[in-house]
Amino acid sequence: MTVSPTTTNALDALHAAELIRKAKRIVVLTGAGVSTPSGIPDFRSEGTGLWSREEPLEVASLNTFRTAPEKFFQWFRPLAGQVFNAQPNAAHQALAELEQHGAPLSIATQNIDGLHQKAGSKEVFELHGTIRTLSCTQCFKQYASPPFLQAFIENGTMPRCPNCNGILKPDVILFGEQLPHTAWQAAQSATRQADLMLVAGSSLEVLPVAGLPMQALDRGAHLIVVNNSPTYINVRADVVFMDDVAAILPEIVKRALHG
């Protein structure tokens, strides 16, 4: 059942809350829509999405980074500033609160911004990598990103390794790269054990991550979808909210924790 942005059905919120209360293992799959209320643009929205202005394979591929890193960093600089300065919103905070109250919760996220961790979530699988660290392309040393990104955002200087002067690559997954093995295996394992999956702010258009909800359903899990546009899995969901995640998730969590 689908709710509109202005007439959120209280019965649907109660149903979703009840599914959360009864769940023995919850996996929350989050996408860009969870972070857009924090000022981070998504990729596919018409006119505002990052890919509405750039061709992904020309700026955000591993091949581009290897052959023309300056082109990648020119594209990446505005996004890095938005991510670096972003703060968790009500959706991130609601999920962290749910976990802090003892819910058996894991978050598998397609986002690179680290906002789930900033909000206080502990078990987070970063399926598309993270902006929180950078790795040297020459000596492979890894560094916390804030000192390097702050200088890069302010003056555009390409981040370089203090050890060997190699170019530092943000530990985000570019087109042409494999997903991080440890995070992907952990997300798949959690999905196999889940009796409830909550999809929040993801259009479910990018494989292989988009296949996780189907894996959960095939094992008998319940499904809640909160996204402001349709997804391929809506027809299989127990409850669907087509609305802003920063409005819906806090309401569901409030009802789950406090009735």
- In the chain, DSSP finds a helix count (H) and a strand count (E) of 10, 10
Q: How many Cα atoms are found within 13 Å in the side-chain-facing hemisphere of 159?
A: 29
Q: Which of 128, 181, 222, 258 is catalytic?
A: 128
As a whole number of angstroms, the distance between CA 80 and CA 153 comes to 7
- The CA-CA-CA angle for residues 27, 32, 38, to 5°, reads 110
Phi, psi of 108 (to 5 degrees): -105, 115
Residue whose structure tokens are 């094992």? 219
As a whole number of angstroms, the distance between CA 104 and CA 30 comes to 16
As a whole number of angstroms, the distance between CA 135 and CA 31 comes to 24
128 labelled catalytic: yes
**Catalytic sites, residue numbers:** 128
